[in-house]
Amino acid sequence: MVHDPASLQDVSGPGWAATCPLACYVIQTARVEIRHFENHITLISFSGLLSFSNTAWQLNDSRPDLTMKDASPIDNPALAIPSDMDGGQTLDLPGIRGRMECLEFASGMVLYRMEYETREDCSVPVQHSLSEPWLGAAMPLQGQLAFSHPCGRTYTLTPESAMLKRVDTSGKQVHLSGGQLVRHIEIASPLAALKARFGEELPERLALFSDAPFGEFQLAQSFSPSQRLRQLASNLFDGHARGSARLLKLEGIANLFMAEIIELFCNEDAGEDRIIVWEQQALADIISYIETHLDGALTIVHLATMAGLSESRLDQLFRQKFQLSCADYVRNERMAAAHRWLESSKLSVKDVAARIGYNHVSNFSRAYRARFGETPARTLRRGLTKTL
C-alpha cells in the first residue's frame, strides 16, 4: 500500500467539497484521508459532519447524485438500531441511520453496500453524470425498495428478487417505506470494461442492455435470484466483509455476484422443458402444503410422494419455476416466515424456531444470520422497539 502523508488534512467551512474520481461529498467540518493502493484502488475516508438541513440531506456522487427529501428527524436517536456493517461512512441523519460504503475496484467495477433504518417514507432522486453506458445489478438482502424511472416504469425489489439495469438518463427515484431495516447491495460496471472482461464478446442476451447507443436508454429486468446469488449477497455483509484482507474478499465476492447474476439472467430460459397441466397443479399443491406445514418434515422424499412425482422431477420443477432446488425453496420459505414473525414481536426466538421446524435454537440462529445478516434476537428487538 502506498500512503501519501500529504493526503491527510483537516478541512472545514460550509460548502467545502472533497473531490475524487469516485465521489464529491459536501462537508461542514471534517478530517479527510486518501489512501492509494498498488492495485489502483483509492480509498477515501471522511470523519466529520455532512451539510444538511432539517428537511434534506445530500450526497453528491459522480455516479449518482442522491438527495433524500421529506425525511423527518428521529424522535429518539437512542432508539435507532446500531449498524453491524463494517466499513464505509456512518449515516446518522434526519429520518435515516446506518452505514453506506462505496468501493471502486481496479477492474472498473463499483460496489455499493448499504445498511440503514428508515423512520419515515421517503424518496431518493438519483441524478447521474455518466458519459458512457453502465450495467448495474441490485439486490436487497433485507427490506423493500421501489425504483421508478423517468419513462414511467416502476420496479419493486425485495429479498425475493434481483435486478439487472441500464439507465443512462437522470431522474430515477428510489422509494423507501418507513420503519424498516434495509440491507441493499448494488454492483455496477461500465459496459466497455465488462465487455473486455468477456473477451470483447458479451453473452447474447445482454444485447438487451448493450446494443443501444448511450443517451436516453432505460431498461431494467427483475427476476428470482438463485440460492447461490442470495449466499453471495449475504457474504458481502458477513465475516467475509471483515478482517485485514476485506477489500480483496469484497472484490472477489462482487465479481462472483456479477458473474452469477449475468449467468442467471442469460440462462433463465435455457433448458426448460414444458410443464404439463397436472404437474403444474401438483406443484401448486406442494407449494400450498409447504406454506402451512413449515414445522413439519418437508423432505423431498415426502413431498415427491405426495405429488406423485419422482424426486428428481419435483426438484426440476422447483428449479424451473423458482431457480431454487426444492430444499432451498423450503429453507427460504421457513426463513421468510421466521423474519415476519420476529418483526411482529409476538413470538419469542424459541417459539419461532419451533414453528419452522428447528429443534435447537442455536441451529436456527446460525441459519437465520446466514440468511439475513443479523441474529433473530436483533430482529425481535427492532420489532419490540417499533411497538413502543
- 3-state SS assignment for residue 71: coil
Report the alpha-carbon distance of residue 356 to residue 297 in Å, rounded: 10
Mean pLDDT score across all residues of the chain? 76
What is the average per-residue pLDDT within 366-373? 86
What is the average per-residue pLDDT within 196-214? 88
Lowest-confidence pick of 55-59, 139-143, 308-312: 55-59
CA 208 to chain centroid: 23
The answer to whether the CB of 340 falls within 8 A of the CB of 380 is no
Query: CB neighbours of 385 closer than 8 A, spacing ≥ 6?
Result: 79, 81
pLDDT of residue 42: 54
Q: Where on the phi/psi map is residue 172: left (φ > 0), alpha (ψ -120 to 50), or beta? A: beta
187, pLDDT greater than 90:
yes
The owner of cell 472533497 is 18
Query: What is the pLDDT confidence band of residue 191, given thresholds at 50, 70 and 90?
Result: very high
Q: pTM above 0.75?
A: no
The answer to whether the CB of 257 falls within 8 A of the CB of 249 is no
Report the alpha-carbon distance of residue 343 to residue 378 in Å, rounded: 10
pLDDT of residue 289: 95
Query: What is the pLDDT confidence band of residue 175, given thresholds at 50, 70 and 90?
Result: confident
Report the alpha-carbon distance of residue 113 to residue 96 in Å, rounded: 15
Instruction: Provide DSSP, 147-189.
Output: EE-TTS-EEEE-TT-EEEEEE-SS-EEEEE-SSEEEEEEEEEE
Report the alpha-carbon distance of residue 326 to residue 246 in Å, rounded: 33
pLDDT digits (tens, 9 = 90+) for 214-238: 887 888 888 888 888 988 998 888 7
Element (H, E) at 362: helix 361-372
HSE-CB for 44 with a 13 A CA cutoff: 19
pLDDT of residue 210: 87
Strand partners, 97: 92, 117
pLDDT of residue 261: 93
Q: Tell me which range, 25-29, 96-100, 127-131, is most confidently predicted by mean pLDDT.
A: 96-100
Query: CB neighbours of 186 closer than 8 A, spacing ≥ 6?
Result: 111, 112, 136, 137, 138
pLDDT digits (tens, 9 = 90+) for 130-163: 889 999 999 999 888 888 877 778 888 888 889 9
Strands (E), the chain: 2-3, 9-19, 23-36, 42-50, 56-61, 64-69, 89-93, 96-104, 110-118, 122-128, 134-142, 145-148, 154-157, 162-167, 172-176, 180-190, 218-223
323, pLDDT greater than 70:
yes
pLDDT of residue 93: 64
What is the average per-residue pLDDT within 339-349? 91
The answer to whether the CB of 237 falls within 8 A of the CB of 115 is yes
**Phi first, then psi: what are they for 317, rounded to 5°?**
-65, -40
* Bigger pLDDT: 22 vs 175: 175
Burial class (CB in 10 A: 0-12, 13-18, 19+), 234: buried
Query: What is the pLDDT confidence band of residue 387, given thresholds at 50, 70 and 90?
Result: low
* CA angle at 52 for the pair 182 and 99, rounded to the nearest 5°: 30
69, pLDDT greater than 80:
no
Report the alpha-carbon distance of residue 16 to residue 260 in Å, rounded: 41
Residue type, 97: R
The owner of cell 451539510 is 51
Per this entry, what is the length of the chain? Answer: 388
pLDDT of residue 35: 54
pLDDT of residue 266: 85
Nearest Cα to Cα of residue 386 among 59, 53, 76: 76
Query: CB neighbours of 2 closer than 8 A, spacing ≥ 6?
Result: 36, 37, 38
320, pLDDT greater than 70:
yes
Strands 64-69 and 56-61, by their bridges, are antiparallel
CA 351 to chain centroid: 29
State what percent of residues in the chain have pLDDT above 70: 73
Lowest-confidence pick of 120-129, 338-347, 362-371: 120-129
C-alpha cell at 22: 469516485
Report the alpha-carbon distance of residue 235 to residue 224 in Å, rounded: 18
**Phi first, then psi: what are they for 301, rounded to 5°?**
-60, -50
